[in-house]
């Protein structure tokens, strides 16, 4: 979603709708994101209210560990068919150790000269998102952090990622994956609950994927790599390129 269908933390632009509407005529569409359902509604509400698209649109928040099935008419709401629990997977003790670690790391980060906007740790049931500057950051705050982050080699966020992984290993919180999330945050989830998880909901389908974070430590990498040998995954620089790639996928499907 972020950086692929929409600008980061921004609503979907209307120009994305026609090409997705055309794609929905020949395929089911799934939006898989590290964000939770509430952010999906905020950012792609234009699609959820589209009388035709909404019937072919699957919502896959939290890397697809939650699956909201499309309604059959314009009056029904999306139905939550399945979800996973990170607390159950890790155990209550290990989960609380992880949360305390994130709180400590946030306190250490607060000594830096960055905007601190609130909503730093977001537990989503099956994943955790830690955003050191806060998920309430305005676009100018996010851009300040992104630009400043790039002045470091490795980047400040890559250093935080390495440190966080180190502390998790010291605490022996096994079976945990930590990835860079979007431009400003970290996605934390049980190993195997990356975006490839979403494919479990569609075992009999041919899958295509477009994502913007397909490189090392990116939260799209596993799904991108899985489909790349079949030439059915693509990396994008943003919504403008996604529109082009979606049109390419549409034409490829029509030729099958």
pLDDT per residue over 221-242, tens digit each? 999 999 999 999 999 999 999 9
Q: Which CATH class is domain 86-190?
A: alpha beta
Portions of the chain given CATH number 3.30.1240.20? 86-190
Return the percentage of the chain with pLDDT > 70, whole number.
99
Portions of the chain given CATH number 3.40.50.1000? 14-84+193-255
Please, which residues have CB within 8 angstroms of residue 74's CB and are 6 or more apart in sequence? 51, 54
pLDDT band at 112 (very low <50, low <70, confident <90, very high): low
pLDDT band at 149 (very low <50, low <70, confident <90, very high): confident
Say whether pLDDT at 12 is over 80.
Answer: yes
pLDDT band at 154 (very low <50, low <70, confident <90, very high): confident
Question: What is the per-residue pLDDT for 73?
Answer: 84
Mean pLDDT across the chain, nearest whole number? 93
Pairing of strands 185-190, 67-69: unpaired
pLDDT band at 175 (very low <50, low <70, confident <90, very high): very high
φ, ψ of residue 118 to 5 degrees: the values are 100, 165
Q: Is 235 helix (H, G, I), strand (E, B) or coil?
A: strand
Residue 134 CA to residue 118 CA, distance in Å, equals 5
Question: Which of 106-120, 212-226, 241-255 shows the lowest per-residue confidence on average (mean pLDDT)?
Answer: 106-120
CATH number of 14-84+193-255: 3.40.50.1000
């Amino acid at each position: 979603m972020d950086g692929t269908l929409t600008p980061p933390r921004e609503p979907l632009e209307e120009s994305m709708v026609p090409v997705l509407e055309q794609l929905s005529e020949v395929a089911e569409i799934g939006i898989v994101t590290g964000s939770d359902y509430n952010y999906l509604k905020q950012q792609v509400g234009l699609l959820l209210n589209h009388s035709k698209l909404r019937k072919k649109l699957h919502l896959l928040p939290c890397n697809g560990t939650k699956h909201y099935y499309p309604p059959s008419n314009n009056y029904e709401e999306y139905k939550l068919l399945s979800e996973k629990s990170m607390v159950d997977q890790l155990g209550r003790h290990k989960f609380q150790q992880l949360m305390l670690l994130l709180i400590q790391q946030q306190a250490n980060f607060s000594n830096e000269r960055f905007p601190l906007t609130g909503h730093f740790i977001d537990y989503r049931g099956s994943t955790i998102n830690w955003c050191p500057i806060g998920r309430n950051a305005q676009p100018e705050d996010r851009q300040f952090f992104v630009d400043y982050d790039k002045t470091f080699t490795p980047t400040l966020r890559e250093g935080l990622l390495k440190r966080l992984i180190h502390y998790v290993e010291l605490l022996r919180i096994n079976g945990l994956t930590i990835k860079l999330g979007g431009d400003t945050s970290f996605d934390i989830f049980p190993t195997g609950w990356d975006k490839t998880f979403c494919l479990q909901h569609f075992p009999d389908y041919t899958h295509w994927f477009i994502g913007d974070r397909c490189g090392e430590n990116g939260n799209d990498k596993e799904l991108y790599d899985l489909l790349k040998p079949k030439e059915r995954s693509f990396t994008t620089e943003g919504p403008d390129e996604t529109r082009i790639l979606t049109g390419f996928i549409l034409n490829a499907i029509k030729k099958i």
